[in-house]
Amino acid sequence: MRVERVILVRPRGFCAGVERALAILEVLLERVPEPIYVFHEIVHNSVLIEGFKRRGVQFVNDLKEVPEGAVCVFSAHGVSPEIERMAKARNLRVFDATCPLVTKVHEEARLFAIRGLRVVLIGHKGHEEVEGTMGHAPMFLVSTAKDVQALPISPDERVAYLTQTTLSLGDTAKVVEALKARFPNLMGPKKEDICYATYNRQMAVQALARVTDVVFVVGSKNSSNSQRLGEVARAEGVPAYVVDGAEHIEPWMFERAKAIGVTAGASAPETLVSGIVKHFEDLGAERIEELGVAEESMTFRLPKMPA
């Protein structure tokens, strides 16, 4: 069956937090002569990371790998106060690329703890953002509604919840409902922690899935928000594949598809989307269309950078 249409959904790709993090690294590459170290991947996209490695950036998962006094960038996912203390002790020149929306969650965690509430974080164990957030206050981690039942907290205690910024809206709602059922006086953030870009992209891919036969999400395996986009599309009953680029698309993935949907996670560059579009044009796709679902205008300031 021949592909007739490729439908690109908007919004897709870079969010304001990713753009800020990448801009910080680009400025440092232009202005700093010495080696640049990044604690964890600056954003979760393998193509971008390999590109920065070729330009001399060194990514580390342990600050002990960073020479004392060196330039070190904290990734967009944020870090714990312990990492900040270690960086200071090693006299590192730190540039913090933490997304401001992640920083907001850190601040909420500290405020809830100061008020004496038991804090529950909804998120994925092992994710860098979760590890960083959990260092800002004592808290419990849950990933599913089932996890809520195992919390060692009495129902009459004062409890507040926070969430990782890149979760599935539907799955998170189920966990919040389970928390409310167990803790009647549950408190939450004044504004949802799941970021605007995650929300917009999930709503967009949901609309895309309803008008296509298969959805391709441009994103890496370790990108939480990209994986969630695939889940949202599948929940609409449409096959969805998260791929780093056109070279990972196999014919069996779209063999019965007339309409191909394409989106991109918040850390995936538009050049990879263009590569997928060209891939299907080369296979004879007759029309390239765009489906607009929401507009975005948010931007974040850079921290003070070297001249």
How does the average pLDDT of the chain come out, rounded?
97
Catalytic entry in 41, 129, 177, 250: 129
> Does residue 27 carry a pLDDT above 70?
yes
pLDDT in tens, 42-76: 999 999 999 999 999 999 999 999 999 999 999 99
CATH code of 5-14+195-292, in short, is 3.40.1010.20
> Does residue 1 carry a pLDDT above 80?
no
Domains 5-14+195-292 and 16-99 share a fold: no
Domain residue spans in the chain? 5-14+195-292, 16-99, 101-182
Least confident of 1-10, 14-23, 35-44, 276-285: 1-10
Angle between helices 196-209 and 224-235 (to 10 degrees): 30
Architecture of domain 16-99: 3-Layer(aba) Sandwich (3.40)
What is the strand order of the sheet 58-60 is part of? 58-60, 36-39, 71-74, 93-96
Q: Give the pair of three-digit tokens for residue 306.
A: 């070297």
Structure confidence at residue 126 (pLDDT) = 96
Contact 55, 49 (CB under 8 A): no
> Does residue 186 carry a pLDDT above 70?
yes
pLDDT in tens, 119-131: 999 999 999 999 9
Cβ atoms within 10 Å, residue 266: 31
Q: How far is 15 from 21, CA to CA, in rounded Å?
A: 10
Tokens 């009459």 belong to residue: 156
Structure confidence at residue 155 (pLDDT) = 94
Structure confidence at residue 23 (pLDDT) = 98
Active site residue 129: yes
Q: What would the mean pLDDT of 270-277 be, rounded to a whole number?
A: 98
Structure confidence at residue 50 (pLDDT) = 98
**If you classify domain 101-182 with CATH, what class do you get?**
alpha beta
Runs of H (alpha helix) within the chain: 16-31, 46-54, 81-89, 100-114, 128-133, 145-149, 169-182, 196-209, 224-235, 270-282
**Residue 190: which pLDDT band, with cuts at 50, 70 and 90?**
confident
**Residue 238: which pLDDT band, with cuts at 50, 70 and 90?**
very high
> Does residue 137 carry a pLDDT above 70?
yes
> Does residue 4 carry a pLDDT above 70?
yes
Q: What would the mean pLDDT of 85-107 be, rounded to a whole number?
A: 98
Structure confidence at residue 307 (pLDDT) = 84
